[in-house]
Amino acid sequence: MSAAVGVNAVLYGMMVVVGMVGFGPMLMHYFGGRFLEVAFERPMSRVQEREADFIGLMMMSEACFDPGDAVGFWERMSRMEKREGEEVPEWMSTHPSNEKRVEAMKEWLPKAMEKREASDCRTTASFAEGFRRALGRGVIVVA
């Protein structure tokens, strides 16, 4: 909300300074708004998405999932987008490119692995293995 207020303030300030009349303000609002969105709002959104990626990687590590799988996931996404021709230039997107996500995940991987090691994953793994054995013996019935 506050970003939109700031964008509108800049837009209307530009209109006053330029002193446009007729269709000028409408054109300035439309094209100026698109320019400001691409120049200011989308990069901020990418920063927030990067932060969300970091938090998600740390959460999955703490929950005993392999954080390396996230790297593989984004590499597959990148290949799929390229294969299908759906790749959007990063400057037009609200999200980081898949390549940037892969780079960031690889950079964060050591910290994620530390977090996973600090979690009680051995206990979780033993519970999961016990569950699989019980399921295989028919002790647990899944409806």
Size of the chain, expressed as the number of residues it contains: 143
Between CA 71 and CA 86 the distance in angstroms is: 20
- Kindly report whether the global pTM for this prediction surpasses the value 0.85: no
Q: Say how many C-beta atoms besides its own lie within 10 A of residue 81's C-beta.
A: 14
pLDDT at 76: 93
For the chain, give the mean pLDDT. 76
Q: Using one digit for the tens of pLDDT, what is the confidence trace for 83-125?
A: 888 777 776 677 788 899 999 999 999 999 999 989 888 777 7
With a CB cutoff of 8 Å and minimum separation 6, the contacts of 94 are: 42, 45, 46, 49
Range from 8-12, 39-43, 126-130, 131-135 carrying the lowest mean pLDDT: 39-43
29-36: average pLDDT: 56
39-46: average pLDDT: 62
Q: Using one digit for the tens of pLDDT, what is the confidence trace for 46-93?
A: 788 899 999 999 999 998 889 999 999 999 988 988 888 877 777 667
Residue 18 to residues 25, 29, 38: CA-CA distances in angstroms? 9, 12, 21
Between CA 36 and CA 90 the distance in angstroms is: 16
Q: Is the pLDDT of residue 35 over 80?
A: no
Between CA 15 and CA 137 the distance in angstroms is: 75
Kindly indicate the confidence band of residue 18, based on its pLDDT and cuts at 50, 70 and 90: low
pLDDT at 1: 47
16-36: average pLDDT: 55
